[in-house]
Amino acid sequence: MAKEASAATTVMSVISLVFGIIGLLASFIPCFGTFAIWLALPSSVLGGIATYLAYSKAESKVFPLVALTISTIGLVISGTQIIALNGATRSIQDGIQRGLEQGR
């Protein structure tokens, strides 16, 4: 049976969860969601540390795992937006370059 989580694990989980939720919600906003990676990445790392501490001390793992999961989902969505916007930018640049070459 898992014992109750320590104060350090709980605090890290709460911080990770709060910033993970903010990062997750911000990642759904088109174009602005790319900046959510700056919230989601540290939140995922902190959630990972909290989860590691919970496993190593045989504490309750539910709260740290929820925080880690939500943060990671926000990180993935934000990363996907970055990749998509990068591809769109390259496509636009290629189109402009072709248009300039045809205009000469």
Q: Tens of pLDDT along 76-97?
A: 999 999 999 999 999 999 999 9
- Two tokens, residue 34: 């790319």
pLDDT in tens, 28-62: 888 888 888 899 999 999 999 999 988 888 888 88
* Residue carrying structure tokens 């370059």: 97
Q: Helices 7-27 & 37-56, crossing angle to 10 degrees?
A: 150
* Residue carrying structure tokens 């309750």: 60
pLDDT score for 1: 56
What CA–CA distance (Å, rounded) separates 33 from 81? 7
Residue 20 pLDDT grade (very low, low, confident, very high; cuts 50, 70, 90): very high
pLDDT in tens, 67-80: 999 999 999 999 99
Nearest in space to 24 (alpha carbons), one of 77, 93, 101: 77
What's the mean per-residue pLDDT of the chain? 89
What CA–CA distance (Å, rounded) separates 31 from 74? 14
